Structure 1
């Protein structure tokens, strides 16, 4: 009896289709390592948005992130944001959709946005520092450990 492949039941896309799809995926998301590198290197085009409630932000947030809960993202508040920047939205992690709501609202307001994969949970799993309290903090010139991927 010949086994059938569940993986190959639907054939893979052509290489050009895969490349296009993966590029699209990368245009929508970033990961903790890439974000940490950019923050440590002082890339000013990026602004990190913590989309959780402010009390969660104070308990612990990505250094450099600003608190803008997705539930408080009004047209008036979003109109004040710099259109030349790229916004990275995050929340607790994969069990939370606050970053998705935040990214949706930011993009709907005409802003460029990427969502942080895994949120604060994956940030911590990668061993990156967390800032506490109301201060934004910074990763500028921070030495990072090596990436596992």
Structure 2
């Protein structure tokens, strides 16, 4: 019997390895960000939502920098090789991808934190409030 899942066959294993390994160069998850922040992060965490949402609740240690405000002059505050991790509201929001795209266009290394605020809270982690 063929179902909607199996009608298209899975990729050969060697292609699956390449695909899934590449995903980790583009994104991280809430657990790894939380763990890294607790140990002294080697990246800058950027909340790319607007200032009002940031004030209502953000990941501790995150810097508010809405994706629409990312410019070369603002990013000059960090060395060129600084790794950035962007996040937004959650899986229903594409702000993290917009911010990551903007940073990549500026030549900056960047990853997205999958899940955003929604994922952070689902993991049981706390938010900071201004």
Shorter-chain TM range is over 0.9
Superposed, which structure 2 residues align to 1:66-81 within 5 Å? 66-81=63-78
RMSD: 1.2
Does the aligned pair in 2 maintain the 1:103–1:115 contact within 8 Å? yes
Counterpart of 2:55?
Answer: 58
Counterpart of 1:107?
Answer: 104
- After TM superposition, give the deviation of residue 8 of structure 1 in Å: 2.5
Counterpart of 1:146?
Answer: none
Does the aligned pair in 2 maintain the 1:51–1:98 contact within 8 Å? yes
State TM-score, norm by structure 1.
0.82
The CA distance in 1 between the partners of 2:39 and 2:78, in whole Å, is 22
1:9-65 deviations in Å (ceiling 9; x for gaps): 22211211111100111111111001101111113x211000011121111100110
The CA distance in 2 between the partners of 1:32 and 1:22, in whole Å, is 18
The CA distance in 2 between the partners of 1:79 and 1:108, in whole Å, is 14
Equivalent position to 1:39, from 32, 37, 40: 37
Unaligned runs of 5+ in 1: 134-149
Equivalent position to 2:84, from 75, 83, 87: 87
Unaligned runs of 5+ in 2: none
Counterpart of 2:94?
Answer: 97
Which structure dedicates a bigger proportion of its chain to helix? 2
1:102-144 deviations in Å (ceiling 9; x for gaps): 00001111111110111011101101111111xxxxxxxxxxx
State TM-score, norm by structure 2.
0.93
Matched residue pairs, number?
Answer: 130
Counterpart of 1:139?
Answer: none
The CA distance in 1 between the partners of 2:51 and 2:5, in whole Å, is 44
The CA distance in 2 between the partners of 1:61 and 1:82, in whole Å, is 24
